Amino acid sequence: MPDIVGIALIIGNTLLFATPLLYAALGGMLSEKSGVVNIGLEGMMTIGALVAATVGYYTQNPWLAFLAAGAAGGLLALLHAVVSITFGADQIVSGIAINFLGPGIALFMSRLFFDGATQTKPIANKMPILFKDALANHPALKYIFGQYATVYIALFFVLILWIYLYKTKYGLRHIAVGEHPKAAETLNINVIAIRYLAVVASGVMAGFGGASLSLAIVSSFRQTLVSGQGFIALVALIFGKWTPHGILGACLFFGFAEALAIFLGSTNLAISSHLISMVPYLSTLLILILFVGRSRGPKANGVPYLKDDISL
C-alpha cells in the first residue's frame, strides 16, 4: 500500500495526465455544443504539440510556444470548419482527414526544422511549476499542488466555460445553435458565425492540449507523443455528457488510470509492463461499454446546416 507521499504522488500525476485530455475534451465540447462533430482532436493535438516544441526550442519562451500551439490547432480546425460548415460535407469524414493531416504536417515540419529528424530537440525552458518553492518542505502537498501552469489554466477554463455556457446569453445562444439551429435563426442568431467560432475554439483548445504534452509532461515532440489521447478526450466528452464539470470528472478518471499505471510500473509487483501500460486504454473501453450508450448529445450535432434547408 502506498504511504501518504505515494498517494499524493498519484493525485499529482492524475492532475498532470488529465490536463491534455481536459483541454481537448473541452474543445470538443465547444464544437459539438454548436452542432459540429469534431473527431479531429487527435490531429489538432499533434500539430499543437509539434508547434509548441518547435517554438519553445527556438525562442526559449514557453508561453509564446503555448500560444503558438493554440494558433496552430485553430488553423487546422478552421479547415474542418470550412469543409463541414460552409460546404456541408460529412463531419466525420472531415475529422478523420484532419487526424491524418495533422500528424503528416507535424512530421514534415519536424524534419524541416530539425535537420530531417522525426522528433524535436529537448526544450530548455518548460512551462513553469507553480508553488514549487513555497511547498518545498511539504512533499505531499508539493506533489499535489506543485503543478505545471498548464494544469491550473485547464482548471480555470473549466470554470470559465461553465459560466459562459450556463450563465451568459452568448452561451445560451451557443447551446441553442446546437439544439435547433433553425429556431435559433428565427431569433436573429447567426448560426454560421457561432459554429465557426466554436470549431476554431475547439482547435485552439486541442492545440493547448498538445502543448501541455510537449511543454510540461515531456520536453520535446515525437511521433508517438499524443498516442490516441485525442480519441480518449472524445470518450471523456461523451462520458462527461457535454458539460464542463462532467468532462472534468471524466478526465480525472482517465488521468487516474494513467497515474495508476505509472505507480504499478514503479512497484515490484510481478505484473508485465505491457499489461500495466494497457490500463488507461482498458479503462477507456470500460467507459465506452458501460456509459457511452446512455449519453445523448446536442440534437443537431453532426447535422450540416444550410440556410435553404427547411428540414431542421
**What DSSP letter does each residue of 128-164 carry, written as one string?**
PBTTTTTTTT-HHHHHHH--BHHHHHHHHHHHHHHHH
- Confidence (pLDDT) at 273: 64
Integer angstrom CA distances of residue 26 from 20, 114, 145, 204, 238: 10, 32, 22, 10, 11
pLDDT single digits (tens) 79-90: 999 999 999 999
For residue 311, is pLDDT > 60? Answer: no
233 is written with which cell numbers? 478526450
- Confidence (pLDDT) at 246: 94
Which of residues 268 and 159 earns the better pLDDT score? 159
Give residues with Cβ within 8 angstroms of 100, minimum separation 6: 43
CB 312 within 8 A of CB 303: yes
91 burial level (CB within 10 Å; 0-12, 13-18, 19+): buried
231 burial level (CB within 10 Å; 0-12, 13-18, 19+): middle
Sketch the domain layout of the chain as residue ranges. Answer: 4-294
Confidence band for 5, pLDDT divided at 50, 70 and 90: confident
Rounded CA separation 193/199 (Å):
10
- Confidence (pLDDT) at 1: 53
- Average confidence (pLDDT) over 220-242: 92
For residue 203, is pLDDT > 70? Answer: yes
pLDDT single digits (tens) 89-101: 999 999 999 999 9
Confidence band for 72, pLDDT divided at 50, 70 and 90: very high
With b meaning 16 or more CB within 10 Å and e meaning fewer, what string describes 201-229?
bbbbbbbbbbbbbbbbbebbbbeebbeeb
pTM of this prediction?
0.93
Give residues with Cβ within 8 angstroms of 55, minimum separation 6: 61, 64, 65, 68, 69
pLDDT single digits (tens) 110-148: 999 999 898 899 998 999 999 888 887 888 888 899 999
Confidence band for 70, pLDDT divided at 50, 70 and 90: very high
Give the orientation angle of helix 244-266 with respect to helix 149-167, to 10 degrees: 160
CATH of the domain spanning 4-294 = 1.10.3470
pLDDT single digits (tens) 169-180: 999 999 999 999
pLDDT single digits (tens) 249-300: 999 999 998 888 888 877 666 566 666 677 777 887 787 777 666 667 888 8
CB atoms within 10 A of CB 166: 13
The residue among 14, 15, 38, 10 whose CA lies nearest residue 26 is 38
